[in-house]
Structure 1
Amino acid sequence: MNSIPTTFSNIFDKELNEEKVISKIEVPIIQRDYAQGRTSKAVSRIRNGFINAIHIALTGTEKDAIKLDFVYGNIEDEKLIPLDGQQRLTTLFLVHWYIAKNENVATEEQEFLKNFTYKTRFSSQHFCDSLVNCEPDYSCESLSAWIIDQNWFMYSWEQDPTISGMLVMLDEIHSKFKKESNLWQKLTHKEIKPVSFYFLALEDMGLSDSLYVKMNSRGKPLTPFEHFKADFEKVIKEVSIDLYDEFIKKVDINWVDMLWKYRGDDDLIDDEFMRYYRFVTEIICYTQKIDMVENDFDLANKVYGVENENAKTNLKILFRSFDCWSEMANIEEFFNTIFSGVDYEENKVRNYSDTTDLFLLCCNNYGKTSGKRRAFTLNNTILLYAVLQYLLNKDEISESEFTERIRIVRNLVLNSPDEIRETRMDALLSDTFNIIVNGEVQTKSGGFSGVQKNEEINKIEWRKNNIELVEDLNQLEDHNLLQGNIAIIGLEDVNLFKNRAQNFIGLFNNEIEYLKISNALLALGDYSQNITWRCLFGNKTDSSWEELFKVSQKKWFFERTQKVVLELLDAIKGNFNTYLENVVTSFLSNEEVEKDWRYYFLKYPAMRSGNSGVFWWRQDGERIKENQYEIFMMNTALSLNGRHWDPFLYALSIDEDLKGAVSLEEYGAPLVFKNEYIKCMNDGFYFYDFENNETRKIEIPQEEEVDKLDRIELLKNIIKLEY
């Protein structure tokens, strides 16, 4: 059957349908109940707009005629079983019934109304039959109340959602048409067709019955997409008839098929469609600096409506953004060729996620939030935009170029935490576009981190000049602790780069204890960095090392960290565990080693048992550990409001030899011994009574303010003697 405009009455015309006769329309069980009569705010708005459009089409001029999209279905034994369009068909049935009864149309002219029925419930069938055979009183205020009051109306029917929806719709029709007359001839005219739709038989579309399941879910409320679609079609139609025709053909076939594998538990793709639609629309808003609104209908008008001078362009962007996925044989496989997940893979870019399919994540999560956290992050938004730009510009970008460029974007995304925020998305997306499409990293934009941009620019040239080391660089970039930023290794010494990269990967391989690595680094030197007043060391967690290895304007002494790390990487050989242990043993066994803070940190592991790896040196304005024995060990990384201890006192408090002799509270409290408090100061231990009066002092022998004796051993022996 050809896709030609037809009407509700004409669809039963044997001449129109050639050899495929339709004598009856039966809404199948698998279809949802009639939902256009639901009373929610959103549905009421759609219902009012729909009936108003039909009213204008019937009372206005020929240019006011409306087309109601496609109706699909199977024809079996002269019976049309709608696949999609049952909501519109039901409303048209009610409109035809109302006008026929209102104008006392001859029985034979309205006979076809008996051929519309529901198979969902017997009650719905019986109601449709009873409705056609009754003679309503249109003088009443509420048509539904009149119907319910009839002796043929069963009380139980009010519980049938299809019947209750029809009653609501009939009241809507009654309020709009009760003063009108002489509409029947125009409504059923074969040529004028003021209210028409396109009809396609299922077999003509080359589709199977399984499409019923794809497009329908009986008993569900109208989804946001179903509300949105009706309005959006009108928005498009006002802008371009060609784009409108393109949309109505693709939205229910091409794009449904593409999204079907991403459907939810409800066997609908509506939510998934709306999430990806919102992604593309918000991208347009970011790039064109359009103020966003939450309501999808209002946003559609702002971005795609006739008042936007870029409406046609924006609609084409939207359509192409759907088409590029529907034209793809396997979306998941496409992403798997670009990204690796939790492990490094050659010729891929690691995205540190169990799922590489960004399109899937977008369809499932875009727009969802938990508190202020986005389920689909701005990082993922930028990465998916980067992939989308590649797909939209594939003719100008080779696969190898894209792999290199998406790596650059990934590196910038993961190393611009301060820059990636919604207020900067226009600049961030501009940066991303220039990288993916033009292969350029722009330094003078307000997008990604300037520090990371400079690193990426240096890498581009370095890769060209050191092709044999590119895979080593890629593997280093993909390391869990670096995530694209390799400043801790650097690119300056090409001759040592391969060894350093391989030793770093071998050292930080999740098999060697982090504290072993930290101890070896401490034995070689002070590798800490300062974040304002806090001093950071690599501790037991990934996050502490990630922080250390990234350059930031908020931190001091990155070069100090790099110097010690490179010293270890250049020297390490053989079994890594054994080498690390030997470095520490050699340090502690050297009688000439100063008993500075590093000595204590290495000799007494308890002094580094805080979870954060962060310390605060008191009275240290220059952040040079000037008063090196006055320290707080912080259990939380950001504030002294969290638990913290003096590490010297903490080591004494958990010493088995002093069990029962001393105790220590949290939050920087002094050590309690008998009737005294003990505080650790730079030149020794101070004792106070419980009224905070100094009672005595144990001074530590020092040379140039560095201990000559182990102060912990010294105080421990005194406590043991006095206990």
Structure 2
Amino acid sequence: MSIRESDEENMTGYRTTFQAMFGEQIDGMPSVERVAIPLIQRDYAQGRLDTRTSTIRATFLDALHAALTGETSVGLDFIYGEVHNDGTFEPLDGQQRLTTLFLLHWYLAFRRGEVSAAQPWTNFSYATRPSARLFCERLVKHPPPSDLSTPPSAWITDQSWYLHLWQFDPTIRAMLVTIDAIASRFADESPDELWQRLSDAENPAIWFQLLPIDDMGAAEDLYIKMNSRGKPLTEFEAFKAFLGQLVDEAGGFEDFGHKIDGDWTDVLWPYRGENNIVDDEFMRYFDFLMEVCEWREGWSRVDDLVTPEKRAKALYGLGNPRHREHLSFMHGAFETWVAEPNLRDYFESLFKTTLDGDGVRVFGANATSDLFHACCDRYGDLRGSTRLFSLTDTLLLLAVLVHRQHQTPDVAARLRSLRNVNEASQFEMRVTNMPKFVNEVTTFIQTGDFDALATFNTNQVNEEKAKQDLRTLNPELIPSIARLEDHAVLRGTLACFDLSSSISHRASAFEAAFEPTRWPLVTGTLLACGAYQRGYQNSDRFQFGSPNTDSVWRLVLVDRGDRDVLAPAREALAAMLDLIADADTQDVEIALGEIARDFTKSRADQERFDWRYHLVRYPEMREGNTGIYYGADGELGYEMTMLRKKVQRSYYRDAYLYAIWSEAGRPSEVSDPWFYGYSTTARWMELARSRVGIRSVSGGLALRNGDSASDEGTLKALCEAAGAEPCEDGWLLRTPQRSHAGELVDTVDRVQVGAEILRDLITAGL
């Protein structure tokens, strides 16, 4: 196709080259006689010396060199601008590319000994910058000798016509840097051969799509949208030109330049930042698309220093057998949004961030229903080692794209199941697994086949199959199942529920009971309904719920969806929820309290004051944030630590001593009972003055002497009066006990006994 022909019947602008644009007359288009960079443009920035710009400049020149020395061409996308009545073209987008092309033409022309002001392409200047305008004129009027052996900048700055003050002009300094970079890159090539490729009108090596507009209206408003004024050179400008070349080489969609500067910019425009440009948003979305394609190839990028251009070439270049597949995915990933009138509304129809409303709930600190916006805003950004746009977000957005490109059915149900397996697969959710995840998600969204999700948590995949069967047989349960799945604690996993019709009334009871403000009550009420705690093999550690931390409840009620492991919790939860659902009162807090009180009363009537009774009866014994307890000899009993943090290398409470101190009114005469170290170490709660100590042991309450021998008699008299007997540590006040199910349990409430003893010690002056 001739560069003087319109690319498409309905396409605005036309394809041309730097040389051909001057004096070119296209039907319906104004003629361009000269190029003048307007005031609203930035300084020429492609010659800056910072690392980022140097990389962009080198990449751009590499692309130009490849086009001039090879058989392929490079397209530099759209260049927009206003054409005045005198034929002066003022670019609003494309200044950097035009300036570099002018300098490239000048370099090759002077090497051929043919620089002349009579050549139309030399009519290039910075109209409102006198120094830059004069510099361009002097370059044309006083070219170096064709056999110049020194860097051109050294020769130029040594000439009499070069003004000393120009060294302070950023545009001129940048031009000199670029001239030297061009000389270094093209010094070994034949200038005649390069010029022939550069000036070939029918098959140009370097071209762009020119959009000259003679009546633009509010030019500065359009300029802001075309992302230039006062902004530094962006990575996107260089990447866009490079990508356009790859698309052109691949013979892909011919309207790439028009799309990226037109429809696709319009898609991203509502998401622009305070800088009124969408360059960063484009790059983040391209980063997402390229990383998905890399994962499809089975690649896991480990070198963050790899440039976007190198990544694009590896994916979209002719050397990749799947380049057309990747280009098609990229094109579709942009084009699918063009006809969507409101992207925010569309994503809000699919996702939500709260329990109420339609759609699939997304979770996390940065949760948002508009995954496209989130991707453009923070894809690739890290907080420490954490991705701000998570891998689960990535898979959900990919699923939406697959659905839109393949028009898959049942998208709401498939997205819901995918969300569920995503959340249940956080252990598996690693970058090294993403190649498998990406391909499995693609297949699943297209087919709905759960067996495709082979790398995800197997328990959850099996649960999704079971829930699908349950919904098919009992469609009336669909709303209840969905609300449970969307609960912040469960996040899609219902392994703590029987998948039966009982799920309907239990769902509403669960939602009411597991309001965060009620967690302190639930820690006791759930234990009243069953010994739901998690034990660990060969460990003294036990896991209960937390009064304030949802991740702890997820561990107790979800924990990778292993229904066998969760059986005790499932039984206790079912009992509690059934009691709530059947309660006479509609006040859930009253119902929770009644369940707990009924349990402790029953235990007291049986004179069975075991560890469960005490934990349910005394909320102080359930205050630990983590819900982690350590028992003696791998058992829960009367020696129990309650952790505030996840490890014993921190301060924690002895559950019984803390309850005794609290029941006694937390007297100031007693040192606040915090402990540190392993749970096997004896823990003594001490009176502040005498340092007389008290601790809970399996047989009762032990007391020891303090620092003063004068206090020993007082303690002895008090212990003898209470019926305590001497022991290795001092005195042991045995609690009456009897055997139950093979273990000894107290027949009295030892917290009440301990509180009374503590008051007596204080009254005695100890």
Q: TM-score, normalised by structure 2?
A: 0.84
Shift of 1:438: 0.6
Q: Secondary structure at the match of 2:21?
A: helix
Letter in 2 for 1:283: V
- Give 5+ residue unaligned stretches, structure 1: none
Contact kept? 2:552, 2:627, Cα under 8 Å: yes
Mean CA deviation greater in 421-430 or 269-278: 421-430
* Change beyond 3 A, Cα 1:354–1:718: closer
Contact kept? 1:531, 1:554, Cα under 8 Å: no
Say if 2:164 is the partner of 1:148: no
CA distance in 2, matches of 1:450, 1:54: 51
* Change beyond 3 A, Cα 1:405–1:49: closer
Specify the alignment match of 2:736 in structure 1.
Answer: 701
Say if 2:334 is the partner of 1:334: no
Say if 2:125 is the partner of 1:134: no
Specify the alignment match of 2:179 in structure 1.
Answer: 170
Say if 2:751 is the partner of 1:712: yes
2:119 to 105, 110, 114: 110
* Change beyond 3 A, Cα 1:338–1:109: same
Say if 2:592 is the partner of 1:592: no
Say if 2:409 is the partner of 1:391: no
CA distance in 1, matches of 2:115, 2:130: 28
CA distance in 2, matches of 1:57, 1:410: 46
Shift of 1:65: 6.4
* Change beyond 3 A, Cα 1:370–1:193: same
CA distance in 2, matches of 1:232, 1:188: 20
Q: Secondary structure at the match of 2:418?
A: helix
Mean CA deviation greater in 186-195 or 536-545: 186-195
Contact kept? 1:71, 1:85, Cα under 8 Å: yes
Q: Cα deviations across residues 592-651 of structure 1 (Å, max 9, x unaligned)? A: 14111122223332222222222111202xx5x3xx111111111x32223222211122
CA distance in 2, matches of 1:56, 1:661: 82
* Change beyond 3 A, Cα 1:459–1:40: same
Shift of 1:312: 1.7
Specify the alignment match of 1:38 in structure 2.
Answer: 48
CA distance in 1, matches of 2:39, 2:137: 18
Say if 2:515 is the partner of 1:502: no
1:447 to 443, 452, 455: 455
Contact kept? 1:100, 1:184, Cα under 8 Å: no
Specify the alignment match of 2:685 in structure 1.
Answer: 671
Contact kept? 2:35, 2:125, Cα under 8 Å: yes
Specify the alignment match of 1:484 in structure 2.
Answer: 492
Say if 2:294 is the partner of 1:285: yes
Q: Cα deviations across residues 437-470 of structure 1 (Å, max 9, x unaligned)? A: 1111117x54211111111101111111111221
- Give 5+ residue unaligned stretches, structure 2: 7-12, 708-726
Letter in 2 for 1:562: R
Shift of 1:304: 2.1
Say if 2:529 is the partner of 1:524: yes
Contact kept? 1:73, 1:82, Cα under 8 Å: yes
CA distance in 1, matches of 2:521, 2:19: 83
Say if 2:330 is the partner of 1:300: no
Q: Cα deviations across residues 648-681 of structure 1 (Å, max 9, x unaligned)? A: 1122334327430455342253212434443321
Specify the alignment match of 1:609 in structure 2.
Answer: 623
Specify the alignment match of 1:536 in structure 2.
Answer: 543
Number of aligned residues: 703
Contact kept? 1:72, 1:202, Cα under 8 Å: yes
Q: Percent identity?
A: 31
Contact kept? 2:543, 2:628, Cα under 8 Å: yes
Q: Secondary structure at the match of 1:277?
A: helix
Contact kept? 2:60, 2:238, Cα under 8 Å: no
Within 5 Å, give how 1:399-418 maps onto structure 2. Answer: 401-418=410-427
Specify the alignment match of 2:383 in structure 1.
Answer: 370
* Change beyond 3 A, Cα 1:670–1:657: closer
CA distance in 2, matches of 1:580, 1:106: 91
Shift of 1:191: 4.3
Shift of 1:148: 2.7
CA distance in 1, matches of 2:235, 2:156: 31
Letter in 2 for 1:603: R
Shift of 1:100: 4.6
Q: Secondary structure at the match of 1:81?
A: strand
Within 5 Å, give how 1:172-571 maps onto structure 2. Answer: 172-175=181-184, 176=186, 186=196, 191=201, 194-203=204-213, 209=219, 210-238=221-249, 240-243=250-253, 245-292=254-301, 293-294=303-304, 295=306, 296-346=308-358, 348-352=359-363, 355-394=368-407, 397-398=408-409, 401-442=410-451, 446-492=454-500, 494=501, 496-510=502-516, 512-532=517-537, 533=539, 534-541=541-548, 542-552=550-560, 558-571=566-579
* Change beyond 3 A, Cα 1:467–1:145: same
Contact kept? 1:633, 1:644, Cα under 8 Å: yes
CA distance in 1, matches of 2:469, 2:143: 85
Mean CA deviation greater in 315-324 or 372-381: 315-324
Shift of 1:318: 1.6
Shift of 1:714: 2.4
Mean CA deviation greater in 331-340 or 281-290: 281-290
Contact kept? 1:687, 1:694, Cα under 8 Å: yes
Contact kept? 2:523, 2:622, Cα under 8 Å: no
CA distance in 1, matches of 2:195, 2:503: 86
Letter in 2 for 1:333: D
Specify the alignment match of 2:723 in structure 1.
Answer: none
Shift of 1:406: 0.6
* Change beyond 3 A, Cα 1:605–1:147: same
Contact kept? 2:661, 2:667, Cα under 8 Å: yes
* Change beyond 3 A, Cα 1:658–1:303: same
Mean CA deviation greater in 405-414 or 185-194: 185-194
Letter in 1 for 2:595: V
Q: Secondary structure at the match of 1:579?
A: helix
Letter in 2 for 1:231: F
Q: Secondary structure at the match of 2:153?
A: helix
Shift of 1:531: 4.7
Q: Secondary structure at the match of 1:619?
A: helix
Superposition CA RMSD, Å: 3.2
* Change beyond 3 A, Cα 1:20–1:710: closer
Contact kept? 1:529, 1:555, Cα under 8 Å: no
Q: Cα deviations across residues 60-100 of structure 1 (Å, max 9, x unaligned)? A: 69x47665444332212122122332223212322333455
* Change beyond 3 A, Cα 1:14–1:643: closer
Shift of 1:229: 3.1
Q: Secondary structure at the match of 1:226?
A: helix
